[in-house]
Copies of this chain bind each other. A is one copy, B any other.
Amino acid sequence: MVPHLTTSLTGPLQELERLVLDRRPEIEHWFRAQFAEHEVPFYSSVDLRNSGFKLAPVDTNLFPGGFNNLNPDFLPLCVHAAMSAVQKLCPDAERFVLVPENHTRNLFYLQNVATLKRILEGAGLAVRIGSLIPELAGPTEFTTAGGETLLLEPLRRSGNRVYLEDFDPCAVIVNNDLSAGIPPIFEGLEQTVVPHLVAGWSTRRKSQHFHAYDRVAEDFAKMLGIDPWLINPAFSQCGKVNFSEKEGEECLAANVEAVLGEVREKYAKYGIAEPPFAIVKADAGTYGMGIMTVRSVDDVRNLNRKTRNKMAVIKEGQPVHEVLIQEGVYSFESVEGFVAEPVVYMIDQFVVGGFYRVNTERGKDENLNAPGMSFRPLAFETDCHSPDCTGGAGAPPNRFYTYGVVARLAMLAAALEVEELVARSLERAPQAATA
Contact indicator B95/A32 (Cβ below 8 Å):
no
Contact indicator A87/B385 (Cβ below 8 Å):
no
Chain A at the B interface: SS class? helix
Tell me, rounded to whole Å, the shortest Cβ–Cβ distance linking A123 to chain B: 7
Which positions 64-84 of chain A face chain B at CB distance < 8 Å?
73-77, 79-81, 83-84
Residue A124 is within 8 A (CB to CB) of chain B in the complex: yes
Contact indicator B91/A25 (Cβ below 8 Å):
no
Residue A126 is within 8 A (CB to CB) of chain B in the complex: yes
Compute how far the CA of A95 lies from the CA of B24 in the bound complex, rounded to whole angstroms.
Answer: 11
Contact indicator A32/B91 (Cβ below 8 Å):
yes
Which positions 93-131 of chain A face chain B at CB distance < 8 Å?
93-95, 121-126
Tell me, rounded to whole Å, the shortest Cβ–Cβ distance linking A21 to chain B: 11
Q: Which of B27, B83, B92 contacts A385 (CB 8 A)?
A: B83
Contact indicator B77/A80 (Cβ below 8 Å):
yes
| A385 surroundings in chain B (CB, below 8 A) | 76, 79-80, 83, 122-123
| A122 surroundings in chain B (CB, below 8 A) | 385-386
Closest B-chain residue to A29, C-beta based? B94
Contact indicator B75/A77 (Cβ below 8 Å):
no
Tell me, rounded to whole Å, the shortest Cβ–Cβ distance linking A332 to chain B: 28
| A87 surroundings in chain B (CB, below 8 A) | 32, 35-36, 349
Compute how far the CA of A345 lies from the CA of B35 in the bound complex, rounded to whole angstroms.
Answer: 26
Contact indicator A91/B126 (Cβ below 8 Å):
no
A76-B386, A79-B386, A385-B79 known; A94 and B36 CB under 8 Å? no
Contact indicator B80/A28 (Cβ below 8 Å):
no
Contact mask for chain A residues 175-201; partner B; CB cutoff 8 A; 1 contact, 0 none: 000000000000000000000000000
